[in-house]
Structure 1
């Protein structure tokens, strides 16, 4: 993304009736949105959040405080409108799409659930690759296809959420592998492990890494080896959203790790990404530092589901509103700062 409007965008922001920089991160946000859309009058049209759900084989190896059955149970909760992401998307008038990327459950056909099931859950990466090469490619293609469909409907801002018991383990291992970091600095308590359970989780993930020590840092191979179907699908969706020049809302730890994979596949995705919040999950702060990302919020949230995207979305609305509606010094007849 390289627009000749850059200086005009910055000048428009600077000439609003306020001291330079007085709106802080909202100014950076307005600049980024206007730059993505290549316009001095940005707009947010038909915001969408897609939540991908998938079951993880690693969940049966003792890495989570919750059983894997919670994944389909939560999908049913999403369908019934009772989850946090339902509440926040309703509050902020964001379209919510629910996708079965690979849940180990046979859902009844439902107009509120998109059936994109690749398989009934991944294999446990403690013993083998989580998915086959074909399954990985299918995830990427289905994620991209969903974004193209949403784009056709007029959407220009899209966020992604996930549901999958065990996916903080996948994300931690992928982060460790791609950034060449010790697994213990990437692993957090996920769904609420106690200290002893966290130690066990780290030991299991260390063993998994040792069992796959032949895997290099190729992001696609790493995702295939350790990822979940919902993560692979989200990766394909992020890459397609960048190709479609859409604003990409990045949620918490798992979504940020997926973004890391997408970035290593295609660095241009960086131009379109807005990091919605810093998660309470241990590895997220370190990952955001590596990515040189400034999260909009820091609320100690660690729920996933795309909730950070939904909660942060009103800040984008504020950034666009001041860009389009706030008076300039000239139009308001307000004197600018004296030169000293």
Structure 2
């Protein structure tokens, strides 16, 4: 038998053993519903029947977008930095949700227009002072895109230091729902009209204007690449923010390190699409936390075939929805490790 065949045989045997262990817990078979599916996923990712995931960490990536010059947002780019300051102060929405879930929070400056002073909860990985206006030219150069991916991959060393087996990815970046819609459209073929929504608060006229601008942006880029990996890289270069590209690199690295990756809303899901195009095996690590109220999110989730854990009509971003999924991941972890078995009963 080939090495690949031996690996597949071992994996199937381990999956069968893990499934039997979950069925044999002190409960009616299937009575914990999606939690049992989550437990199986955690066991398969860690390759341990009694996993110890360690700490939970939230990485909030911040970056500004040149496309905001086209009037596609309800707020100016300066708001990105103001929200980032609140994250560092511990008073932003993500700080509240992370505290409730027992997780740490760190802000990664991937490319805001104006840098922040040094702070204990700030990781400075700035690629540039925001991206270029994607309606007029590519958002970033090939070198900048590659640099953002590399910097994101390198952040896994921070997760090692924190002994973090659970990672939440969040974002801050005025204009990044436009970037996410563009990336999502190119990678899935879903109509822009389905993916373009109000973002941080556009009225119907604003949404219509946003759709026109993004349609022109797609025409300007004229991406005609069939290879999924190359297409993803070009979509990121043409449309994404530095925070999105850096997140893609960090997602890929976290999956390689067998961490549980909790995916937040619309923007993070668009980044996850790109990560999966570049590293399809990462799919087994991804837990999709919730369905955002941003209209296009459901379409992206359906395309991936993802079943979010809950739907609370949230649309703040920052990783808030994903942070609230941490207790569910913890419960599934502890079910594998600490829940009693029914003596002598392991239903098949």
Class of the TM-score when normalised by the shorter of the 2 chains: over 0.9
Q: Does 1:144 align with 2:153?
A: yes
The farther-off stretch of 235-244 and 110-119 is 110-119
1:181 Cα deviation after fit: 2.2
Q: Which residue of 2 aligns with 1:132?
A: 141
Secondary structure of residue in 1 paired with 2:325: helix
Tell me the distance in 2 between the aligned counterparts of 1:244 and 1:133. 26
Aligned with 2:256 (options 236, 243, 246):
243
Contact 1:143/1:237, CA 8 A, preserved across alignment:
yes
Q: How does 1:74-85 map to 2 (within 5 A)?
A: 74-85=83-94
Tell me the distance in 2 between the aligned counterparts of 1:131 and 1:10. 46
1:329 Cα deviation after fit: 2.0
Q: Does 1:279 align with 2:292?
A: yes
Q: How many pairs were matched up? A: 335
Q: Does 1:111 align with 2:120?
A: yes
Q: Which residue of 1 aligns with 2:328?
A: 315
1:152 Cα deviation after fit: 4.0
Q: Which residue of 2 aligns with 1:120?
A: 129
Q: Which residue of 1 aligns with 2:338?
A: 325
Secondary structure of residue in 2 paired with 1:329: coil
Aligned with 1:234 (options 247, 250, 254):
247
1:174 Cα deviation after fit: 0.7
1:245 Cα deviation after fit: 1.4
Cα deviations by residue, 1:28-76 (Å, 9 ceiling, x for unpaired)? 0000001111111122201111100000001121111111110011111
Contact 2:59/2:168, CA 8 A, preserved across alignment:
yes
Aligned with 2:266 (options 253, 265, 269):
253
* Structure 2 stretches lacking a partner, 5+ long: 1-6
Cα deviations by residue, 1:103-141 (Å, 9 ceiling, x for unpaired)? 001322222211111110000100000001111011001
Rate the CA distance shift 1:327–1:214 in 2: closer, same or farther, 3 A. closer
Tell me the distance in 2 between the aligned counterparts of 1:292 and 1:157. 22
Q: Which residue of 1 aligns with 2:33?
A: 24
TM-score (normalizing by structure 2): 0.93
TM-score (normalizing by structure 1): 0.95
Q: How does 1:1-340 map to 2 (within 5 A)?
A: 3=11, 4-216=13-225, 218-330=231-343
* Structure 1 stretches lacking a partner, 5+ long: none
Contact 2:23/2:346, CA 8 A, preserved across alignment:
no
1:242 Cα deviation after fit: 1.2
Cα deviations by residue, 1:247-299 (Å, 9 ceiling, x for unpaired)? 11111111111000010111011011111111111111111111111111111
C-alpha RMSD of matched pairs (Å): 1.7
